[in-house]
Amino acid sequence: EVQLVESGGGLVKPGGSLRLSCAASGFTFSSYSMNWVRQAPGKGLEWVSSISSSSSYIYYADSVKGRFTISRDNAKNSLYLQMNSLRAEDTAVYYCARDQMATNYFDYWGQGTLVTVSS
């Protein structure tokens, strides 16, 4: 069974940093591109970042470019999101999501981790 479990969320002050993690199991992690998708409270879904299976291709939404860094460790079956210079508008539930093989839609999602940016 495919499982994606996020961790690392919490309360952080504006300008602060946080690192999210996503532990994957139930599939060959090193074969799949992975993503972060976020959802602000009461709002819709927003794609944040993608990373290919071997980390060769990395993409970011304009809203986080230059502040967030996606990475992965295939040996540990883990995905990460380093978030710096956090703003109030980054407050959201952050989901880890898997790309269906060789496509760009999300076939499995984690349960999400809440990031709150507030003074």
Partner 1 sequence: DIQMTQSPSTLSASVGDRVTITCRASQSISSWLAWYQQKPGKAPKLLIYKASSLESGVPSRFSGSGSGTEFTLTISSLQPDDFATYYCQQYNSYSRTFGGGTKVEIK
Which residues contact partner 1 by CB under 8 A? 44-47, 50, 57, 59, 61-62, 95, 100, 103-107, 109-112
Using the minimum distance from each CB to partner 1, give the nearer residue, 17 or 100: 100
Shortest distance in whole angstroms from residue 44 CB to partner 1: 5
Rounded Cα distance, 79 and 29, in Å = 9
Tokens linked to 20: 């999210």
- CA torsion sign for 24, 116, 105, 63 is negative
Task: Pick between residue 62 and residue 75 the one whose CB is nearest to partner 1.
Answer: 62
Q: How far is the CB of 47 from partner 1 (least distance, A)?
A: 5
- Please identify, using beta-carbon distances, which residue of 17 and 105 lies nearer to partner 1: 105
What 3-state DSSP class applies to 84?
coil
In degrees, rounded to 5, the angle at the alpha carbon of residue 80 between the alpha carbons of residues 106 and 54 is: 70
